[in-house]
Homo-oligomer: A and B are copies of this chain.
Amino acid sequence: MSKQELPIVQTTSCCTSPQSAPLGEGQAVELAAIFKALGDPVRLRLLSLIAAAEADKGVCVCELTPAFELSQPTISHHLKLLRQAGLVGSERRGTWVYYWLRPEVTDRLASLLARPANEWQAEPAAQAS
């Protein structure tokens, strides 16, 4: 049970099958899973709290849970979904577990949404300055 799920996205994506259609089925499934993780108010607020922390430090779950009027298992569940989507990473430090943002993934989504008129195809992640 100590299996750590792999993130859905590989930012170094090697295209699935760039046929003719823009955004192939495979990529659509992959991206939709990430957007679905963002499609909940609690998870969005969690992510914003996590993103607000210093990247290398991370945020303790013990700081996140009391920010919501939800049970601790519910918060834990949402954090798990964010992690499975690849949006955050997590690590245990002593008694506490810390979560941090993975900007590669959010950047990928941002670059995808930023130029919708252009290419929605596979994009080898943003190489922003």
Query: Which residues of A pack against B, CB within 8 Å?
Result: 21-23, 25, 28-29, 31-33, 35-45, 47-49, 51-52, 55, 67, 101, 103, 106-107, 109-114, 116-117, 120, 128
Which of A22, A37, A38 lies at the interface centre, i.e. has the most chain B CB atoms within 10 A of its CB?
A: A38
Residues B41 and A28 in contact, CB atoms below 8 Å apart = yes
Contact A51 B117 (CB under 8 A): yes
Tell me the complex Cα distance, A112–B109, Å: 10
The chain B residue with its CB closest to the CB of A42 is B28
**CB-CB nearest in chain B for A102:** B116
The interface residues of chain B lying within 8 Å CB-to-CB of A21 are 45, 49, 67
* 8 A-B pairs with least C-beta separation: A36-B39, A23-B48, A35-B38, A110-B113, A51-B116, A110-B114, A48-B120, A28-B41
